């Protein structure tokens, strides 16, 4: 995800999630969000179960 997209997502998230990201935090939050979403894109389908409950 491009940084611009991450910044746009931060702005959208402020509305959808009802949070307020102060201007001085936006670059840092966008960077971390972009990293998390890049990693999330790596996750495959995994098991077909619906219940996200794990026991060793």
* Nearest-approach distance from CB 4 to another protein, in angstroms: 15
Does position 25 bind another protein by CB under 8 A? yes
Does position 37 bind another protein by CB under 8 A? yes
* Segment 27-33 long-range contacts (CB within 8 Å, at least 24 positions apart): 30/3, 30/6, 31/3, 31/6, 33/6, 33/9
Distance CA 5, CA 44 (A): 22
Does position 36 bind another protein by CB under 8 A? yes
Contacts with another protein, residue ranges (CB under 8 A): 9-10, 13, 17, 19-22, 25, 28-33, 35-37, 39-40, 42-49, 52-56
């Amino acid at each position: 995800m491009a940084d611009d997209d991450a910044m746009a997502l931060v702005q959208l998230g402020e509305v959808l999630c009802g949070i307020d990201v102060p201007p001085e935090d936006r670059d840092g939050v966008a960077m971390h969000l972009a990293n998390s979403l890049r990693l999330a894109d790596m996750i495959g389908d995994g098991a077909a179960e619906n219940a996200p409950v794990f026991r060793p």
